[in-house]
């Protein structure tokens, strides 16, 4: 555990001063707020079943003791992002099943509970999509055939791909896995697509639920488009070497906000049931 703590401490030594991707990539000026609100309103609205969410460890839709660790993570993350003028946050891990999708979704719900804060969640893990299941989205609720691949490659508009909860949280998920995920994440038009979404919908944050770093090139290919990244490590599963390599690779491309140590067995009173995180 000491060595794991050392890895976390290491991850605190951030690269600073990288230009915000979100600011540098806007190709058309932001729409007036009223236009952005109208665009949000035009997205199909879904409601989530709290029991299904809880069963899937998505516990941040409402304020609660279970949501508190995610609220703390949200507050720290958003504080840094606001200070730096960053809007795009990637969530990744060294290897699969560390809890990226679970934490990304909890962060998104937690952000949207903040007053005047809107978030867009994009399921960029196109090889192993899980968000439709985690969110318990019925066939009716899903945008039929919607995929992040079509969105990022410019074949589908955000307005045709996204769903919303309330007026400040939107999701684009994947119906099915895609094979050429790296090609799509590396696509030439991706930067413009993201800039256009930001200009039109003016979210305070865009959260990208990424694939794991050490399995293929997908995540590294995409880091040019984000402002910062959170690394999710699984206690007793992620090795120090994996976390270290993951952190070094990512830090060469973007700002590493920190390592979230998930799946810990600390006592809840000490650290919260979802574990401890460090910056
Ligand atoms: N803190 C946790 N404690 C126990 N199980 C967890 C925790 N976080 C996530 N899980 C479970 O681990 C599995 C993988 O989580 P997921 O978020 O899909 O990982 P990833 O997106 O990194 O592949 C899921 O079954 C999820 O419910
Ligand atoms: Mg996942």
Gap between the Cα atoms of 219 and 228, Å rounded: 12
Least confident of 11-25, 122-136, 178-192, 216-230: 11-25
Residue burial 201-216, b: 16+ Cβ < 10 Å; e: rest? bbbbbbbbbbbbbbee
What's the CA gap between 168 and 116, in Å, rounded?
8
Does 20 reside within a domain? Answer: no
pLDDT, residue 135, reads 97
What is the rounded CA–CA span in Å between residue 259 and residue 77? 12
DSSP state, residue 98? S
pLDDT attached to residue 7: 38
- Return the SS3 of 170: strand
Residue 37 lies in a domain: yes
pLDDT at 26 over 60: no
Evaluate: CB of 96 within 6 angstroms of ligand 1: yes
The span from the CA of 8 to the CA of 81, in Å, is 19
- Does 138 score more than 50 pLDDT? yes
In a domain, 269, yes or no: yes
Query: According to the 3-state scheme, what is the secondary structure of 38-94?
Result: HHHHHCCECCCCHHHHHHCCCCCCCCCCCCHHHHHHHHHHHHHHHHHCCCEEEEECC
Token pair belonging to 229: 């990244």
Residue among 217, 213, 190 nearest 88 (CA): 190
Other beta carbons within 10 angstroms of residue 39's beta carbon come to 18
pTM greater than 0.85? yes
Does residue 27 lie in a domain region? Answer: no
Residue 278 has a pLDDT of: 42
Ligand 2 ion local residues (Cβ < 5 A): 100-101, 125, 130
Candidate of 92, 97, 125, 174 to mutate for ligand 1, largest count of ligand atoms within 8 Å of Cβ: 97
Band of pLDDT at residue 262, cut at 50, 70 and 90: very high
Mean pLDDT of 12-26: 55
Note the pLDDT of residue 140: 81
Cα dihedral 181, 185, 187, 191, rounded to 10, equals 160
Does residue 3 sit within a domain? no
Query: What is the reported pLDDT for 15?
Result: 41
Q: Which of 67, 74, 43, 70 is nearest to 172 (CA)?
A: 43
Tell me what pLDDT residue 188 has. Answer: 94
Quick check: 257 and 77 in contact, CB under 8 A?
A: yes
Provide the CA 167 distance to its chain's centre, in angstroms: 18
Give per-residue pLDDT as tens, 29-51: 666 788 999 999 999 999 999 99
Say how many domains are in the chain.
Answer: 1
Mutate to test the pocket of ligand 1, among 57, 70, 264 (most ligand atoms within 8 A of CB): 57
247 vs 144 pLDDT, higher one: 247
Inside any domain, residue 248: yes
Q: Which two tokens stand for residue 9?
A: 């401490």
What's the CATH number where 228 sits? 3.40.50.300
Q: Which residues of 88-97 are buried (b: 16+ CB within 10 A; e: fewer)?
A: bbbbbbbbee
Ligand 1 centre from 33 Cα, in Å? 36
Q: Ligand 2 centre from 107 Cα, in Å?
A: 14
Q: Roughly what angle, to the nearest 10 degrees, separates helices 33-42 and 190-201?
A: 100
Q: pLDDT at position 45, please? A: 96
Is position 200 within any domain? Answer: yes
For residue 88, the enclosing domain spans 32-274
Q: How far apart are CA 34 and CA 199, in angstroms?
A: 13
- 201-254 pLDDT, tens digit per residue, is 999 999 999 999 999 989 999 999 999 999 999 998 999 999 999 999 999 999
**What is the arithmetic mean of pLDDT over 180-196?**
95
β-pairing verdict for 88-92 and 205-209: parallel
Question: Per-residue pLDDT tens for 64-108?
Answer: 999 999 999 999 999 999 999 999 999 999 999 999 999 999 999
Confidence label for 119 from pLDDT (cuts 50, 70 and 90): very high
Tell me, yes or no, whether 130 lies in a domain: yes
- Residues with Cβ within 8 Å of 62's Cβ and at least 6 positions away in sequence, in order, are 50, 113
């Amino acid at each position: 555990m000491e060595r794991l703590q050392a890895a976390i401490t290491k991850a605190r030594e951030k690269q600073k001063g990288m230009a915000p991707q979100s600011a540098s990539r806007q190709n058309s000026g932001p729409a007036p707020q009223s236009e952005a609100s109208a665009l949000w309103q035009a997205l199909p609205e879904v409601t989530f079943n709290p029991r299904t969410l809880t069963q899937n460890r998505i516990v941040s839709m409402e304020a609660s003791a279970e949501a508190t660790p995610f609220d703390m993570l949200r507050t720290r993350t958003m504080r840094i992002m606001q200070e730096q003028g960053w809007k795009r946050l990637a969530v990744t891990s060294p290897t699969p099943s560390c809890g990226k999708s679970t934490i990304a979704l909890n962060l998104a719900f937690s952000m949207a509970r903040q007053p005047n804060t809107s978030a867009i969640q994009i399921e960029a893990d196109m090889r192993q999509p899980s968000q439709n299941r985690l969110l318990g989205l019925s066939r009716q609720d899903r945008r039929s055939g919607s995929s992040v691949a079509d969105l990022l490659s410019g074949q589908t508009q955000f307005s045709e791909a996204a769903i919303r909860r309330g007026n400040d949280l939107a999701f684009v998920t994947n119906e099915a896995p895609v094979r050429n995920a790296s090609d799509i994440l590396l696509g030439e038009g991706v930067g413009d697509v993201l800039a256009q979404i930001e200009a039109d919908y003016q979210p305070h944050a865009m959260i990208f639920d990424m694939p794991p770093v050490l399995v293929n090139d997908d995540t590294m290919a995409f880091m040019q488009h984000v402002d910062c990244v959170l690394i999710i490590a699984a206690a007793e599963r992620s090795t120090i070497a994996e976390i270290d390599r993951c952190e070094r690779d990512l830090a060469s491309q973007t700002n590493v906000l920190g390592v979230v140590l998930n799946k810990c067995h600390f006592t809840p009173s000490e650290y919260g049931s979802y574990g401890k995180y460090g910056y």
